[in-house]
Amino acid sequence: MNDIQSLVPQHKSDITRAQAVVQAGYPAVAPVLSQLLEWLQGCNWPVARVLAPFLASIGNPLAPHIKSILRSNDEIWKYWIISVIISNSSELATSFRSELERLALSPTDHEKSE
């Protein structure tokens, strides 16, 4: 775990570590998935551009982490997770269909404002 922890990017331009995460692959990075998803809070960040396709390819093992994000009050992060992860993973799109339908049909006021 300690070796995997050292792969987690340290700043938004830490492309070297982001690429090392991708190279390590899944399931090696399973212990740090939630930390990696944090880098998708701003998908304009260079590390997000490297991590997003890789994370989307993992599919359902991300579901518990994504569930927490979708239940949070961070509407921007939800947007990015839906846009760059769920939309690129049919497994996750199926898993979160009911939540996606709720967001589309009955968003909260806060979700609407964002």
pLDDT digits (tens, 9 = 90+) for 74-104: 999 999 999 999 999 999 999 999 999 999 9
Query: Which structural domain range is residue 93 located in?
Result: 2-113
pLDDT reported for residue 102 = 93
Q: What is the CA radius of gyration of the chain?
A: 14
Burial class (CB in 10 A: 0-12, 13-18, 19+), 91: middle
Domain count, the chain: 1
pTM above 0.95? Answer: no
Q: What is the CATH number of the domain that holds 28?
A: 1.25.40.750
